[in-house]
Amino acid sequence: MSTHIWLRAETKPGEARTALTPATARKLVDAGFHLTVERSDQAALPAQAFADAGCDLAAPGAWQSAPASAWILGLKELPSSNTPLAHRHIYFAHAYKQQAGWQGLLQRFQRGGGQLLDLEYLVDAQGRRLAAFGHWAGFVGAALALLTWCGRQSLQQPPLPRLHPWQDQSALLDQLNIAVAPYAEQLPRLMVIGAGGRVGRGAIDLAERMQIPVTAWDLPETKAGGPFPAILDHELFLNAVLATGPQPPFLDAATLARGGQLAVIADVSCDPYGDCNPLPVYNECTTLDAPLITLPGGQHLIAIDHLPSLLPRESSEDFAGQLLPLLLQLNEDSDGVWQRAAQLFDNKCVEALT
């Protein structure tokens, strides 16, 4: 019996990415996998392209009645419910750092006998992530910070209006060039913390294309612990560090109150709901419809937890290419990737009961 992967339709508003593309789906089909893909009106990649690649098509949400042996693949959170979960699910659950609702979610899996294999924790033997959207998250995060700064300069209200996905990165760069043109002689300075990782490198890629001065910090500059007043010397600040435990903040309210040049914060690693937030100056994520929070000092903050969805084609192609070798190992798991993810799920379930 062939391994069955069921790609569910995303339900998060504005989420146009997919964990598979027609090209990677075809490679799985050619390798003997059975693929079902749910139709989606918001996905950037049309369902017919998956059908042409050899996939079966299904209605949105049909995964709930999928065969028990199917692996349910997605990206963002499942619809809110108390229904027990019986399948093996692969997606970004945001539940392993005690975020809001984490216990209830894991208990749904326990009640249904299902399993969560979190995409964020597909790692090699050294703990390095094997599939991530980081580059495009940093790229888009830096772009939005720059657009917001331009909006502030022109007194646009709000400085960053409702967002919609760009057709591709060329369209995004065209818009940026138009927005920046009046300020070519006074470009803002960008500070990136976490510059050595995927997210940080993506942010620096955008900044270099737009010829924005960048201050790049990573472990050597931050090992002493924050807060870091040097951030205030830059008009733009981007956090690219995914914190795994409590730590001194990079910025706090007292530091922001000092003033300085800081106008826009892009928290690409946005995780305001637990104890691992290095920017404890806000407590909820922003959205595509309302992308900005205005802080007490007048700074604007962007904290959208699915930034790569604004470049859905490039980010889907990039991520799906990284994920493909791991999916091809679902049966044999020669590198132990899925075993490690399953063990982590078991450990977190025990933690949820204590």
What is the structure's pLDDT at 282?
A: 95
Residue 310 corresponds to which tokens in the numbers above?
Answer: 């604004």
Residue that has been written with the tokens 């690649």 in this structure: 53
Predicted confidence (pLDDT) per residue in 140-151, tens digit = 999 999 999 999
Q: Tell which residue, 152, 133, 167, 175, has the closest CA to residue 269.
A: 133
What is the structure's pLDDT at 245?
A: 78
Q: Which residues of the chain have pLDDT under 70?
A: none
Cα 337 to the chain's mean position, in Å? Answer: 20
What is the structure's pLDDT at 99?
A: 83
What is the structure's pLDDT at 277?
A: 86
Predicted confidence (pLDDT) per residue in 175-193, tens digit = 999 999 999 999 999 999 9
Domains and CATH numbers, the chain: 4-130+312-353 (3.40.50.720), 134-303 (3.40.50.720)
- Among left, alpha and beta (phi > 0; psi -120 to 50; other), residue 14 is left
What is the structure's pLDDT at 195?
A: 97
What's the pTM value of the predicted model, to 2 decimals?
Answer: 0.88
What is the structure's pLDDT at 210?
A: 97
Q: Rounded distance, CA 197 to CA 238, Å? A: 13
Cα 345 to the chain's mean position, in Å? Answer: 20
What is the structure's pLDDT at 242?
A: 78
Q: Rounded distance, CA 43 to CA 349, Å? A: 32
Annotated active-site positions, please?
Answer: 76, 94
